[in-house]
Structure 1
Amino acid sequence: MILFRNARIMELDPPLVSEPIDIAVYEPNEGAHGGTIAEIGASLQTKYPKAKLAGDGGFLSPGLVCAHTHLYSVLSRGMLVDIAPSKDFAQLLEHLWWRLDRAIDPEILQASALAGCSDALKAGVTSLVDHHAGPECIADSLSIIRKAYEDTGLRGILCYETTDRNGMAEARAGIAENVRFTKEVDSIRASGQKPLVEAAIGAHASFTLSNETLEGLAEAVQETGRGIHIHLAEDKFDAVDARYRFSKDPVERIDAVGALTSRGIIGHGVWLTPSEVEIMNARDAFLAHNARSNMNNAVGYNALLPTFKNVVLGTDGMGADMLEEFKFAVFRQRESQGPWWPADFLKALHRGNLLIERYFSKDFEPTFPGFGTIKQGAPADLVLWDYDPPTPLVGANIAGHFAFGMSSRSARTVIVAGKIRILDHRPMYDDIAIEADARYQALRLWKRMEER
């Protein structure tokens, strides 16, 4: 048993801050209810005198979710590689990212995944949705990433970025890796275990997918019951290409073959049209908004953001600090004079838990309270914040404190599936070794990029 004493529960949707109270958590090995919240009440230390103390005071919230990232880009931070100037987004892919993903080997992949997972946990992120690419390291790549998640104790959803850009054989290999990994996850459940990592069906973008490959992806979605995870209309080029070559909008393309479902994740969607938003909303799919990445790549702003039913927040590989991402999302919307306020983005930040729930709900009783809440029986994916606000923090102004005060530095203790991963700001895994190997593998990656 794990115990938080005198913590103020901070729910994000609907927003609420409680009076100080105790929260008890079942550890993973404590029977059928392992990894869930056991009890909420006063003076629980008297009832559970042998419980491990995870914190005293502070604000306890559900864990944060990064709904779209690229762990393979972790080792690009500060890279010392000769990159040709790019005049547009398509050239940026050619000059930088497609050189980087071709340079990935198993050792580089493992190091980048471990470092990225560790960064996420230290920022109060308990679930990370990754979108992997590595044309020279496709087979079993998702299993390498899965091990990194399990070694650090992070929850998440993985996929491989299927694309035609290096030929049809590679496209088929990408689909095969996605399907193989879904079977790996299914086998974990069949053995009676609760997986920490789930699987989606990954694809790059409309402009690098033929109809044949898209149909193969749709078949994989239908066969496995997972959702597609794909970039669509991140740049205007993707939208124009779909209409020019296929006479369909990007969302219309994937929906026409039956690949868009309620577990589907569309990254960016900057240049989608109102009719495409209607299709996504009808399919109950998710739009992963990545404000910092969109700004960095100068691809434009998604003015239709308030019209999407299921907006979630991601980083597109720019770290995993979701409070930082939240701030950028808020300020970029304000700069565009959009109608959303911090409270609207708080809902989007919290909605990442709905995405996680759609992939992991089968591991819990039908009546469980769901992800993203602090209630008895809910999954124990939790963050204790040692934030000491200079003004009152109540339900009505949580979004304001997130936008103008709190930062990931306040993430004191992090629990995932009932297991302590960060305690008093100290990782419960060998973070020093992870960071040292990441620095070594980053140099290897940069050298391999120069050779390409």
Structure 2
Amino acid sequence: MILFHNVRILELEPPSVSEPTDVAVYESGEGDRAGTVAAIGPNLAVQYPTAKVAGEGGYLSAGLVCGHTHLYSALARGMLVDIKPSKDFAQLLDHLWWRLDRAIDPVILRSSALVGCSDALKAGVTSLVDHHASPECIDGSLSIIREAYEAVGVRGILCYETTDRNGMAGARASVAENVRFAKEIDAIRASGAKPLVEASIGAHASFTVGNETLEALAEAVRSTGRGIHIHLAEDKFDAVDARHRFGKDPVERIDAVGALNDRSIIGHGVWLSPSEVEIMNARGAFLAHNARSNMNNSVGYNILLPTFANVVLGTDGMGADMLEEFKFAVFRHRESQGPWWPGDFLKVLHRGNALIERHFAQDFAPGTTRASTPAVAPTSTLVTSGEGGFPGFGAVQVGAPADLVLWDYDSPTPLVGDNIAGHFAFGMSSRSARTVMVAGNVRILDHRPLYDDATIQAEAREQALRLWKRMEER
């Protein structure tokens, strides 16, 4: 048993801050309930005298979720590579990112995944949704990333980016890697274990995926029971190309072959049309909004953002600092004179948990429904495991997955439910993440990683130089 003592529970949806209380967690190896919240109430040290104390004081929240990233870009920071000037987004892909992904080998891949996962944990992010590409290292690539997730201790969803740009043999190998990895996860569950990593079916974008490959992706979605993860209309060119070459909008193409469902993740969607938003909403698909990346790539702003039902936040590979991403999402929207306020983006930040829950709920409560119990029990009341149903991801409640972050945040102004969004936008930062737990395992304790982070960082510096050299050769 692990104990958080005298903490204030910070919930994002609905926003609330509790009075000081204790939270006990079943750690790994403690039976079927391992990795979940065991009890909430005062003086739990009396009930669990042998519990390990993971922290005292501060604010305890569910871990943050990055809904779309590219871990292979972790070694691109400050890259010293001769990159041709780009006149548009398509040229930027050709001059930079497609050179980078072709330069990835298994050693570089492992290093980028390890350092990316480590950076995420340090920022209070417990779940990463990765969209991977390495055309010269396809077979088995997702397993290498999974091993990195497990070594560091991060939850997540992985896919391989299928595209026709490297030839049809490469496209078929990419689809096969997605299917292979999904079966690998199914085998883990069949053994009775709870996987830390799940699978989706990856594709690059409409303009690099022809009809033959799209049909193969749709079959992969059906056969594995997963969702597609694809960039759509990140740049205006993708939308125009879909209508010109295929006679359909990008989302219409995906939906027409039956590949759009409630596990689908559509990255960016900057230039989607209102009718495409309606299709996504009807299918329950997620839009991953990547404010900083969209700004950096100068692809425009998604003025339809408030009309999507399931918006989550991602970074598109620009690290995994979700509090930083939250701030940019708020400020860029305000600059565009959009109608949303910080509180609306707090819901978006929290909604990443719904994406994770759709992939992992079966491991915690097969066939059960979300509980309607209060988010936090009164501090005078002890709530223990076994009361109520599965509260889901993103909540500090009894029975919820123990993906938790203890924050050091000493604010000069009161922090209450009504102003959490304001504190996230104008005060709190990832530097406040003190202790981070995933699936009941403490991975960072008092700002100190409980894995060999020094070695991860040192190897990353070596592999970054190798990556840059290999890029110059391409």
TM range (shorter): over 0.9
Q: What amino acid is the match of 1:393?
A: L
Provide the rounded CA distance (Å) in 1 between the counterparts of 2:210 and 2:46.
Answer: 63
Partner of 1:61: 61
Matched, 1:407 2:429: yes
Q: Residue by residue, what CA displacement relative to the aligned partner does 1:125-158 show, whole Å, maximum 9, x if unpaired?
A: 0000000000000000000000000000000000
Read off the aligned partner of 1:49 and give its amino acid letter. Answer: P
Please name the residue that 1:451 is paired with.
473
Instruction: Identify the residue that residue 358 of structure 2 maps to in structure 1.
Output: 358
Which whole-Å deviations, capped at 9, do the CAs of 1:334-380 have from their partners, x for residues lacking one?
00000000000000000000000000011012231100001100000
How far apart, CA to CA, are the structure 1 residues paired with 2:8 and 2:225? 38
Name the CA distance, whole Å, in 2 between partners of 1:309 and 1:58: 33
Give 1:437 deviation, angstroms: 0.2
Any idea what the Cα deviations from partners look like across 1:220-277, whole Å, max 9, x if unmatched?
Answer: 0011010000000000000000000000000000000000000000000000000000
* In 1: Cα distance, 2:90 partner to 2:32 partner: 50
Give the CA deviation at 1:59.
0.3
- Superposition RMSD on alpha carbons, in Å? 0.4
Alpha-carbon distance in 2 for matches of 1:28, 1:14: 29
Matches within 5 A, 1:12-31: 12-31=12-31
TM-score when normalising by structure 1: 1.00
Deviation at 1:46, TM superposition (A): 1.1
Instruction: Indicate whether 1:376 and 2:398 are aligned.
Output: yes
Distance 1:217 1:279 in 2: 19
Give the 5 Å matches for 1:331-370: 331-365=331-365, 366=368, 367-370=389-392
The letter of the residue matching 1:100 is L
Determine helix, strand or coil for the equivalent of 1:184: helix
Correspondence 1:15-414 to 2 at 5 A: 15-365=15-365, 366=368, 367-414=389-436
Give the Å deviation of 1:180: 0.1
Task: List gaps (5 residues or longer) in structure 2.
Answer: 369-388
1:433 match: 455
Distance 1:406 1:29 in 2: 34
Distance in 2 (CA, whole Å) between partners of 1:389 and 1:286 is: 34
Inter-partner Cα distance in structure 2 for 1:49 and 1:85: 63
Determine the C-alpha separation between the residues in 2 that align with 1:291 and 1:340.
14
Which SS does the other structure have where 2:66 is aligned?
A: strand
Output the CA distance in 2 between the equivalents of 1:348 and 1:227.
Answer: 20
Q: Supply the distance in 2 between the matched residues of 1:48 and 1:408 (Cα, whole angstroms).
A: 31
Letter in 2 for 1:242: A
User: How many angstroms apart in 1 are the aligned matches of 2:340 and 2:428?
Assistant: 20
* Aligned residue type for 1:421: R
Question: What code does the residue aligned with 1:415 have?
Answer: M
What is the alpha-carbon distance in structure 1 between the residues aligned to residue 332 and residue 390 of structure 2? 36
**What are the superposed Cα offsets for residues 307-352 of structure 1, whole Å, 9 maximum, x if unpaired?**
0000000000000000000000000000000000000000000000
**Residue aligning to 2:385:** none
Measure how far apart 1:13 and its partner are: 0.3
Identity of aligned residues (%): 81
Question: What is the TM-score when the length of structure 2 is the normalising length?
Answer: 0.95
The residue type equivalent to 1:417 in the other structure is: A
- Give unmatched runs, 5+ long, in structure 1: none
Measure the CA separation in 1 of the matches of 2:56 and 2:71.
33
- Which secondary structure does the structure 1 equivalent of 2:53 belong to? strand
SS of 2:406's equivalent in the other structure is strand
CA distance in 1, matches of 2:272, 2:176: 29
Q: Deviations over 1:382-405 (max 9, x none)?
A: 000010111000000000000000
Secondary structure of 1:9's aligned partner: strand
Q: Distance between the aligned counterparts of 1:394 and 1:242, measured in 2?
A: 47
Q: Residue by residue, what CA displacement relative to the aligned partner does 1:270-297 show, whole Å, maximum 9, x if unpaired? A: 0000000000000000000000000000
